[in-house]
Amino acid sequence: MKFAEDQVVEDDTGFQDNEESFFQDIDLLQKHGINMADIKKLKSVGICTVKGIQMTTRKALCNIKGLSEAKVEKIKEAAGKMLQNVGFQTAFEYSARRKQVFHVTTGSQEFDKLLGGGIESMAITEAFGEFRTGKTQLSHTLCVTAQLPGEDGYSGGKVIFIDTENTFRPDRLRDIADRFNVDHDAVLDNVLYARAYTSEHQMELLDFVAAKFHEEGGVFKLLIIDSIMALFRVDFSGRGELAERQQKLAQMLSRLQKISEEYNVAVFVTNQMTADPGAGMTFQADPKKPIGGHILAHASTTRISLRKGRGEMRIAKIFDSPDMPENEATFAISGGGVTDAKE
């Protein structure tokens, strides 16, 4: 396999060199003696790349209807031969691969600075806060900004929006498009929208998302889920179902993380808050905390806490990040979406 030095994406032609690491089509398994019927079965559950096989356990593959253990072994072996990178690579090689990471601007320079450039690709960024703190407004703004060419050669691309709370409004996108002087219809055309009704439906939509990202390799840049936990909160109630809920949530977040790495897209999710009844006993200033527990806390690469300021002002704070310091930034919500706060 070529090493990562050759894999820096410069432009669309760069994507061709890049195919080796990113969009290695599952159909290539035919050369290694895997028949087309089995490849179709893998595609039906959203496994469309050779890397996708590496990211799926043997147990999960055996659960696919029509795949026996012997077949799964053969598929795994073929994928291993094609990837040959199951081992280690130096930090230098990995840093060259990280050059493919891009950032989607939030619409506010202050906010971007806080995040080190914007919403990062190959990662899950979670924004949590109470109602009226700007989570959905931020989601809508990102739908438009992700389509605009940005810094470091970012070319812009399409967006997928999964809505669990029925808060998506195409008219908001028109207002935000006006601010950036872009055509309404073009903006709306580049956003694929799906409404999820149950946590299971939400998980099934991810199979469609993976297939879509694969079908149009390199075209989609951002996946938004607003909000990630709402349906889990409804489908699983009480402590009796908590373990099952967290297990299902962990599987979904793992899938999201894999999708973001497999197709080099940014994943942005919003989350709700809950009052912590036990916090009153301690001297905690803010007894509210994001829901989803430790599972969600560990799965999110970057967590942003949003709170309300004066008037239209909102304050974003880095709650957890592998490379950003814990700072705060103030931004405003205007008719044109998220902007810089006017002092």
**pLDDT at 257 > cutoff 90:** yes
Mean pLDDT of 99-111: 92
Q: Say yes or no to pLDDT of 325 above 70.
A: yes
122-156: burial string, b at 16+ Cβ within 10 Å, e else: bbbbbbbbeeebbbbbbbbbbbbbbbbebeeebbb
pLDDT higher than 80, residue 21:
no
The residue-averaged pLDDT of 28-46 equals 87
Across the range 82-88, mean pLDDT stands at 71
Say how far apart CA 112 and CA 17 lie, in whole Å.
Answer: 30
Q: Which residues, including other chains, have CB under 8 Å from residue 305's CB and lie 6 or more apart? A: 127, 128, 129, 290, 316, 317, 319
214 pLDDT above the threshold of 90: no
Q: Average pLDDT for residues 223-237, to the nearest whole number?
A: 92
- What is the per-residue pLDDT for 172? 93
Q: What is the 3-state secondary structure (H, E, C) of 104-148?
A: ECCCCHHHHHHHCCCEEECEEEEEECCCCCCHHHHHHHHHHHCCC
Residue 15's pLDDT is what?
36
Dump pLDDT digits (tens) for 126-171.
Answer: 999 998 899 999 999 999 999 999 888 889 999 999 999 999 999 9
Which stretches of 216-340 are DSSP H helices?
230-235, 242-263, 293-299
pLDDT tens-place string over residues 295-319: 898 889 999 999 999 888 999 999 8
**One-letter identity of residue 305:** S
Residue 308, beta-bridge partner list: 314
pLDDT over threshold 80, residue 6: no
Lowest-confidence pick of 25-29, 58-62, 255-259: 25-29
Ordered domains of the chain (ranges, CATH) = 26-82 (1.10.150.20), 100-340 (3.40.50.300)
CB 54 within 8 A of CB 24: no
